[in-house]
Amino acid sequence: MKKLTFEFVKIHPKAITPQKIKGNLGFDLSVVRSECFFKHTYPGQPNTHRYMLEPGERKLFHTGLKMAIPVGYGVVFWDRSGMSAKSGIQKCAGCIDSSYRGEWLVCLDNTDNRAYEITEGDRIVQAIVIPEYNIAFIENKELDATFRGESGFGASGK
């Protein structure tokens, strides 16, 4: 198995260094407190470092990390299965190219009908490394025939 090295910079004092655990495809990214954490107040807890992601709300969260992805690779974000299956929290977008050097931000969407609490330090998304492919696009008059052909949505009968 090829080993890749990702150089990183912590731009927030509480940024959590990602860990790649053997046997896991990706690595988790954690949230750090940012200005959005102060937009909601909690009675009796004025300095709580958490954010309530309301139903239907989409929000950008900070990781406090900048990373250098090796040339020839990219990173895609994937939902954390428990957050998605149990609470309807899904990532939006999330493809980082090797040429990007800014902070890694994570866009989350609450598809559930209940608010979801996100606390500083929570793991919020999985990052999966994928290879970059050198792709040539060739215009043609028509494409080769396949058994499915042009059958689209619902083509499998389900």
Whether residue 85 is contained in a domain is answered as yes
Whether residue 93 is contained in a domain is answered as yes
- As a whole number of angstroms, the distance between CA 76 and CA 94 comes to 6
40-97: per-residue pLDDT in tens?
545 555 555 778 899 999 999 999 999 999 999 999 999 999 999 999 999 998 899 9
Q: Considering its fold, how many domains does the chain have in total?
A: 1
The whole-number pLDDT of residue 51 equals 86
Burial level of 103, CB count in 10 A (0-12/13-18/19+)?
Answer: middle
- 18-33: average pLDDT: 92
Q: What is the largest CA-CA distance in the chain?
A: 68
Mean pLDDT of the chain: 89
pTM: 0.82
Q: What is each CA distance from 27 to 5, 54, 100, 140, in whole angstroms?
A: 13, 26, 18, 40
Please determine, for residue 112, whether its predicted confidence score (pLDDT) is greater than 90.
Answer: yes
We report the CATH number of the domain holding residue 29 as: 2.70.40.10
The whole-number pLDDT of residue 18 equals 95
Please determine, for residue 125, whether its predicted confidence score (pLDDT) is greater than 80.
Answer: yes
Whether residue 49 is contained in a domain is answered as yes
Instruction: Give residue 29's domain range.
Output: 7-131
Going edge to edge, which strands form the sheet with 103-110?
Answer: 7-10, 58-68, 103-110, 89-92
- As a whole number of angstroms, the distance between CA 30 and CA 36 comes to 15
Q: What is each CA distance from 94 to 3, 74, 83, in whole angstroms?
A: 23, 10, 17
Whether residue 97 is contained in a domain is answered as yes
Please determine, for residue 103, whether its predicted confidence score (pLDDT) is greater than 90.
Answer: yes
Whether residue 1 is contained in a domain is answered as no
Whether residue 64 is contained in a domain is answered as yes
Burial level of 109, CB count in 10 A (0-12/13-18/19+)?
Answer: middle
